Amino acid sequence: MTDAKQNPDTRADALIASYERTGYSRVDPAILQPAEPFLDLSGEDIRRRMYLTTDASGHELCLRPDFTIAVSRDYLASAEAGKPMGFSYLGPVFRQQDGGSGELIQAGIESFGRRDIAAADAEIFALAVEATSAYGLADPDIRMGDVGLFIALVNALKIAPVWKRRLIKDFNRAGRLTQDLDMLMRQTTQTRTEYAGVLAALTNSDPTAARALVTDLLSIAGITAVGGRTVGEIADRFLEQATLGAGNGLPQEIRAQVERFLAIAGDPDNALAALRTFAADTKLELDPALDLFESRTGFLAARGVDVSRIRFSTTFGTSLDYYTGFEFSVHDASGRSAQPLVAGGRYDNLMTRLGSTAQIPAVGLGIWIENISRLAGTPRANP
């Protein structure tokens, strides 16, 4: 690896130095990582672009495709796990690219353990916007969403748990829900015929007993994993298909509520007003999520962020499966690049999914150094 690749421009180093002064200690997690956490927890886009290998013992490894999971694992393995800590980083990540290098430079910060959620969100967001200013890019295109709001909506709807999981799952696929809503609302009976008998037998059965039955059958057949899914996950998929195939889809009233929610957009202040009107009209309990949204917006304004420039949409989402709260991306306003310059958000459930016995709040951002450097014409570091 060349020095230029390690140190792509002087502003990247200056940016990380500023994060260190703010309290985000610089870390450098191992490039070679266990593949399982990334395969289980990353979005579909990252999974299909990973570089995979195996060690002499047959354990599957990968070149780190992203810093967040790698930094999170190191934090959980440290004596500081559970305590409020902040980390910064600058280095290569590895993803297969169409017609380009698979080695990309990423900078960023991760904040763990802070309980002042709205203030922590606002700090990360403000630092993301400041990163573009450090590269001389004025008035960037700022986009924001909040999967936490959608989760609150789904939890408030009077629908079966399997439908709740399905709606959230599709929303997390980078806004795919808006494209699939018609299909999701219709009766879901298009299942593979060879499974029809099993699915019919599972319909309306006790979920715990049905899951145990499917798990036992798969184990007896010697199946331990298929396509990266465990036996338990395969069993859950069978149960989901049985439930979806048994009914007549979601009621029209529920569809109307979801569609109305997904149509809300604007700057955060206008969007909040529309969301509170929606909650009052539908009599859905969304106050805690909306209060957090309002508090975050207030903290953003207090940090000097012009919230009127933020384009908020209830349909905005990324391809990362572990986000649980607000999400954002910062783009070049002139449209010279379709790729985000900075992106990030809140991922409170990631620590427990990585093995923590307690939930640890977490929020962070990532900066695509080569994208932002190219647009800004950033000077190269001295050789």
Angle at 202 between CA 198 and CA 204, to 5 degrees: 150
287 in any annotated domain: yes
Kindly state whether residues 93 and 130 are assigned to the same domain: yes
383 in any annotated domain: no
**Residue where a domain stops, chosen among 279, 301, 322:** 322
Kindly state whether residues 273 and 343 are assigned to the same domain: no
Kindly state whether residues 258 and 155 are assigned to the same domain: yes
CB 75 within 8 Å of CB 85: yes
Kindly state whether residues 217 and 233 are assigned to the same domain: yes
Kindly state whether residues 202 and 90 are assigned to the same domain: no
**Tens-place pLDDT, residues 173-195:** 655 565 556 655 554 434 444 45
Count the domains in the chain: 3
Q: Which domain range does residue 30 map to? A: 3-140+332-376
- Provide φ and ψ at 127, rounded to 5°: -65, -35
Describe the strand order of the beta sheet including 52-54 as a list of residue ranges. 32-34, 60-63, 52-54
Kindly state whether residues 118 and 151 are assigned to the same domain: no
Burial class (CB in 10 A: 0-12, 13-18, 19+), 3: exposed
**Residue where a domain stops, chosen among 222, 246, 270:** 246
166 in any annotated domain: no
Q: Which of 8, 316, 382, 322 is nearest to 174 (CA)?
A: 316
Kindly state whether residues 153 and 265 are assigned to the same domain: yes
As a whole number, the mean pLDDT across the chain is 84
CB 239 within 8 Å of CB 275: no
Task: State the Cα–Cα distance between residues 328 and 143, nearest whole angstrom.
Answer: 5
CATH, residue 366: 3.30.930.10
Query: For each successive 10 residues of the chain (383 residues), what is the average pLDDT?
Result: 53 94 97 93 81 92 96 97 97 88 94 97 97 91 95 91 78 59 50 49 56 68 59 62 58 88 97 98 97 98 96 86 91 86 95 94 96 72 41
3-state class (DSSP) for residue 130:
helix
Task: State the Cα–Cα distance between residues 370 and 214, nearest whole angstrom.
Answer: 48
Tokens of 49: 């672009």
Query: Model pTM?
Result: 0.81
Kindly state whether residues 121 and 31 are assigned to the same domain: yes
**Tens-place pLDDT, residues 13-43:** 999 999 999 999 999 999 999 999 998 888 7
Q: Which of 61, 143, 121, 112 is nearest to 330 (CA)?
A: 143
**Tens-place pLDDT, residues 320-360:** 778 899 999 999 988 787 889 999 999 999 999 999 999 99
pLDDT at res. 383: 40
Kindly state whether residues 122 and 7 are assigned to the same domain: yes
Q: Indicate the helix (H) or strand (E) that contains 92.
A: strand 85-94
Looking at the DSSP bridge assignments, the partners of residue 225 are 230
Task: State the Cα–Cα distance between residues 121 and 9, nearest whole angstrom.
Answer: 28
**Residue where a domain stops, chosen among 322, 341, 363:** 322
Kindly state whether residues 337 and 312 are assigned to the same domain: no
Kindly state whether residues 53 and 108 are assigned to the same domain: yes
259 in any annotated domain: yes
Kindly state whether residues 154 and 292 are assigned to the same domain: yes
